[in-house]
Amino acid sequence: MTRAWTRERYRRLLRWYPAEWRERNEDAVVGMLMEQAHHDGLPSPTAVERRSLLLNGLGERFLQPQATTGPAFIAFALALLYSAWYLSLTTWAPGIHYAGAVWPFSNPTPFAVILLVAAFAAALGRRARLARLLAYSAAAGELIIWALGAGQGWLGPSLFAALVFSGLAVCAGGAPPSRRQLVKPVLALALVLAAAFAAPQIPPRIALLFMPGVFDDMPLPTLLVYVVLPLIALVGVPVLLVSALVLVRSPGSRRNEAREQVDSAG
């Protein structure tokens, strides 16, 4: 016998599929999976079903042919030109040995540029959704690189350079299907940026606490700042990262939550 919450689990697994696909097929697919589970006497989805729904859902979401718009291609061109200019004239520093240097570049921006190039390739291959995901990832990656660099004193990227790159990458990705869908990722990104800025400062601040003579004749308020802030950051960084993960994984709409509650009750 299957349990009441098996249907809810199947609906959760189908969230890997895009919303328009779920509107057309969700009820039929869940019914088929429930019938098979009842026939086999399974209380929950099997590992094979989970993997199959995950892979098929991601394929349906990101690999279905969809053309990229003309304005997005213009944004791609501007973003790639800006990236080439930035990498060749600003970050190109062969032989440099400094914190944050990657290959012959003074900071890890090439990683974000690689994502942007992959997004452009996906757009050329008529995979607009995949291109959007990669372009948004490039934008978020560059902002995270900026936050890490600001926390550790890397040679860039500057906030201005990161904002220009990220803005062009977002424009290249095109508008999302629903602007509401951006709220949670943007809030999650803000939490990740805060963690990325704070995390590099924790080890040196904690090491400072154990250096002899550092706090001699130091005023009490300053002493409290040097002692308390690293401890707050040490606890706060994992809290920020976990909060970002929970935010992204939370249910997407009240309508789905209500429907799942009715299904589980029945």
Ordered DSSP codes for 83-133: HHHHHHHTSB-TT---TT-BTTBSSSHHHHHHHHHHHHHHHHTTBHHHHHH
For residue 49, give Cα distances in angstroms to 52, 54, 117, 263. Answer: 5, 8, 34, 20
Q: What is the pLDDT of residue 252?
A: 54
Q: Helical H runs in 199-253?
A: 202-209, 220-249
For residue 193, give Cα distances in angstroms to 136, 151, 230. Answer: 15, 10, 17
Query: Is 90 or 260 the better-scoring residue by pLDDT?
Result: 90
- pLDDT greater than 60 at residue 1: no
For residue 90, give Cα distances in angstroms to 3, 44, 94, 107, 223. Answer: 60, 55, 12, 10, 39
Q: Which two tokens stand for residue 222?
A: 């300053």
User: Which of the four pLDDT bands, split at 50, 70 and 90, describes residue 176?
Assistant: low
**For residue 159, which of 169, 148, 173 has the smallest C-alpha distance?**
148
User: Residue range 34-45: average pLDDT?
Assistant: 78
Out of 130-134, 154-158, 176-180, 218-222, pick the least confident.
176-180
User: Which of the four pLDDT bands, split at 50, 70 and 90, describes residue 177?
Assistant: low
Task: Reduce the DSSP state of residue 148 to 3 states and report it.
Answer: helix
C-alpha of 219 from chain center: 42
Query: Is 21 or 5 the better-scoring residue by pLDDT?
Result: 21
- pLDDT greater than 60 at residue 41: yes
User: Residue range 103-124: average pLDDT?
Assistant: 95
User: Residue range 208-217: average pLDDT?
Assistant: 70
Residue 255 DSSP label: H
Q: What is the pLDDT of residue 242?
A: 85
Q: What is the pLDDT of residue 258?
A: 45
Indicate the burial class of 264 (C-beta count within 10 angstroms; 0-12, 13-18, 19 or more): middle
User: Which of the four pLDDT bands, split at 50, 70 and 90, describes residue 260?
Assistant: very low
User: Which of the four pLDDT bands, split at 50, 70 and 90, describes residue 195?
Assistant: confident
User: Residue range 192-200: average pLDDT?
Assistant: 86
pLDDT tens by residue, 151-164 = 888 988 999 999 99
**For residue 108, which of 71, 131, 138, 73 has the smallest C-alpha distance?**
138
User: Residue range 104-110: average pLDDT?
Assistant: 94
User: Which of the four pLDDT bands, split at 50, 70 and 90, describes residue 85?
Assistant: very high
**For residue 226, which of 202, 209, 212 has the smallest C-alpha distance?**
209
Share of the chain above pLDDT 70, in %: 86
**Do residues 140 and 193 touch, judged by C-beta distance below 8 A?**
no
Work out the widest C-alpha separation in the chain, in whole angstroms: 77
Task: Determine if the peptide bond prior to 157 is cis (ω within 30°).
Answer: yes
Sign of CA pseudo-dihedral 210, 242, 60, 179:
negative
Q: Which two tokens stand for residue 25?
A: 């097929």
Query: Is 69 or 212 the better-scoring residue by pLDDT?
Result: 69
- pLDDT greater than 70 at residue 174: yes
User: Residue range 234-246: average pLDDT?
Assistant: 83
User: Which of the four pLDDT bands, split at 50, 70 and 90, describes residue 228?
Assistant: confident
**Do residues 17 and 61 touch, judged by C-beta distance below 8 A?**
yes
